Amino acid sequence: MNIYDKYQKAVEIVPKTTIQIQEIFALLSGIRGAIRHTASLEDLEKIKLSFPEIFVHLNGEYFGKKTNACIIAKDEKTMETMIDNVFNDDHSHFDQELEGRLLGYPDCCIEHHTKYVDRRKIHKLDMSIYDCYKNSRKCSPYINNLLSISTRIRTKKDEINRKKYELLNKDSQLPIYGFMFISHMPCRHDCKESIVMGKTIDGLLKKYYPSLEKIIIDTLSKPILYFSVFNQIVFDGYIKGEVLYYKKIIPPYFPISAKLLKSINEGNRVWVNMKKISVMKDNKTIYTYMKKNEADGFMVDFSG
């Protein structure tokens, strides 16, 4: 099977599973040596049958929790190293940096990620996202993975919010867990190495799966008001200075505050600074949210 046939086969097979096609493209193209995902045994069998050269492994638990965590790798050695590192019995020798290298992440992003992993191996995600935003001069849609939440569900509260998220988007034709070109959290939203990776995956999608590519790039090229993983808003609009001018919010939808949502639906501007968020209708303020800290709601401009 030539490389063209592999990508075509991926477009036929992968969307019938819970695995993101962007991840399989990254593996087939050599950008990634392995991917970590959640998938059923049936999904992995479909992948293995279609791509016999790929190695797959399903584990019953991940860090002590029952799960469908799996690893898909390009070669046996990478697979064995990943299994030993991620799924060892007591996780005592889990190496965050090693995992990042095996997954093909840029060194700068591995270093940034590791900074925010505590002794219990829990990633302080929202803190690292704010740091990523704060250090960025310009935000590229090719590495916007704020909406890629499938690997960010760790607590019972996350599970509750995930179900709310799915309910809010149940009638959507969009890939509500697949809004990304890269799966890793970049060190900055203008990380050059990550942008190269993201553009490569975008190019492959544009060539082999153009209908999906258009949905993803259109959604990722929007301003996002970010509070936390399950509390963010995507706007159809543009930012000028500290003010967002918008027509409406767009999917995917998150379980945000009802009061905030109501005011946003009534307004057409949002003003965000270090202390507060003001929702306005033209020049009239209709709702003000006083922030608990500077990271409690910030606007990430992926629109250009």
Q: Could you give the dihedral angle defined by the CA atoms of residues 35, 36, 42 and 44, in that order, rounded to the nearest 10 degrees?
A: 30
C-alpha distances in Å from residue 176, one per residue of 74, 120, 136, 172, 208: 27, 29, 26, 8, 20
d(CA 70, CA 80): 13
Is the pLDDT score of 2 beyond 90? no
H runs (alpha helix) in 15-155: 21-29, 41-50, 76-86, 96-102, 107-115, 125-134
d(CA 142, CA 9): 24
Please answer whether residues 298 and 133 qualify as being in contact, where contact means their C-beta atoms are separated by less than 8 angstroms. yes
The one-letter code for the residue type at 256 is: I
In a domain, 263, yes or no: yes
C-alpha distances in Å from residue 190, one per residue of 108, 177, 301: 12, 23, 12
Dihedral sign, CA of 234, 240, 241, 243?
Answer: negative
In a domain, 114, yes or no: no
Would you state the pLDDT for residue 207?
96
Hey, what are 137's tokens? 């001069």
| Residue 11 CA to its chain's centroid (Å) | 20
- Number of domains composing the chain: 2
Structural domain including 255 reads 223-304
In a domain, 72, yes or no: yes
CA angle 251, 252, 255 (to 5 degrees): 115
d(CA 255, CA 215): 22
In a domain, 124, yes or no: no
pLDDT tens column, 119-161: 556 678 889 999 999 999 999 999 999 998 877 777 788 889 8
- Structural domain ending residue among the three candidates 72, 94, 116: 94
pLDDT tens column, 57-87: 887 665 556 667 889 999 999 999 988 887 7
In a domain, 155, yes or no: no
Would you state the pLDDT for residue 85?
84
In a domain, 105, yes or no: no
Max CA separation in the chain (angstroms): 62
In a domain, 161, yes or no: no
C-alpha distances in Å from residue 207, one per residue of 45, 104, 109, 202, 218: 26, 23, 28, 9, 16
Would you state the pLDDT for residue 61?
60
Q: Which residues are bridge partners to 70 per DSSP?
A: 37, 58
Would you state the pLDDT for residue 303?
87
Q: DSSP of 282-294, one letter per residue?
A: TTEEEEEEE-SST
pLDDT tens column, 12-53: 999 999 899 999 999 999 999 999 888 888 999 999 999 999
d(CA 263, CA 261): 6
Is the pLDDT score of 255 beyond 90? yes
In a domain, 287, yes or no: yes
Tell me the pTM.
Answer: 0.91
d(CA 38, CA 177): 12
223: phi then psi, degrees, rounded to nearest 5: -70, 145
Q: Identify the band that residue 94 occupies on the pLDDT scale cut at 50, 70 and 90.
A: confident
- Structural domain ending residue among the three candidates 61, 94, 127: 94
- Structural domain ending residue among the three candidates 94, 120, 139: 94
Would you state the pLDDT for residue 34?
95
Is the pLDDT score of 118 beyond 70? no
C-alpha distances in Å from residue 120, one per residue of 107, 116, 214: 22, 11, 39
Share of the chain above pLDDT 90, in %: 70
pLDDT tens column, 201-223: 999 999 999 999 999 999 999 99
Hey, what are 100's tokens? 């990042």
Is the pLDDT score of 90 beyond 80? no
Would you state the pLDDT for residue 213?
96
Max mean pLDDT among 113-117, 191-195, 240-244 falls in: 191-195
Please answer whether residues 280 and 269 qualify as being in contact, where contact means their C-beta atoms are separated by less than 8 angstroms. yes
d(CA 260, CA 265): 9
Which 3 state secondary structure label does DSSP give 162?
Answer: helix
Please answer whether residues 246 and 234 qualify as being in contact, where contact means their C-beta atoms are separated by less than 8 angstroms. no
Average pLDDT over the chain, rounded to whole?
90
**For 284-296, what is the mean pLDDT?**
96
